[in-house]
Amino acid sequence: MVFVHSRKDTFNTSKMLYEKAIDQMCIDLFDPSTHPRYEAAVKDIKSCKGRELRELLPKGIGIHHAGMARSDRNLMERLFGSGVLKVLCCTATLAWGVNLPAAAVIIKGTQVYSALIVYLLPH
């Protein structure tokens, strides 16, 4: 699991990780196609609302953030929990009340949004 700061960064980080895996010639570590539930996941992903999810599934990567449809978030949780997805790039909303197995957790940056700071900045 890779925790990122923003919704937009979930997809950008997933693309960056995949590109790094290509560069390092270790793309097979992400490959979900040999997983016993992969074919079912391919069928399930066809009904999701987020086009990014359809693009990422064959790469073994998923994203999760509060701006996604609940059904898409549930699907990402299920596919990561079962091991079809090898990497899940997500915002902190996933950390609240969702129990998923993860071999490693990465926190990308330590930025914190503060409405007070935004309010105090000159307009």
User: Does the pLDDT at position 103 exceed 60?
Assistant: no
Q: What pLDDT, on the 0 to 100 scale, is given for residue 94?
A: 73
Q: What pLDDT, on the 0 to 100 scale, is given for residue 110?
A: 56
User: Does the pLDDT at position 31 exceed 70?
Assistant: yes
* Section 5-22 average pLDDT: 94
Q: What pLDDT, on the 0 to 100 scale, is given for residue 100?
A: 65
CATH number at residue 66: 3.40.50.300
The 8-class DSSP code of residue 107 comes to: E
Report the chain's mean pLDDT, rounded to a whole number: 85
Convert the pLDDT of each residue in 55-100 to its tens digit.
Answer: 999 999 999 999 999 999 999 999 999 999 999 999 888 776 666 6
> Could you list the residue range(s) of the whole structural domain that residue 92 is in?
2-120
Q: Residue 1: which pLDDT band, with cuts at 50, 70 and 90? A: confident
Cα gap 119→123, rounded to integer Å = 9
Number of structural domains the chain divides into? 1
Q: What pLDDT, on the 0 to 100 scale, is given for residue 102?
A: 63
The strand order across the sheet containing 61-64 reads 61-64, 87-90, 2-3, 106-107
CA-based max dimension of the chain: 55
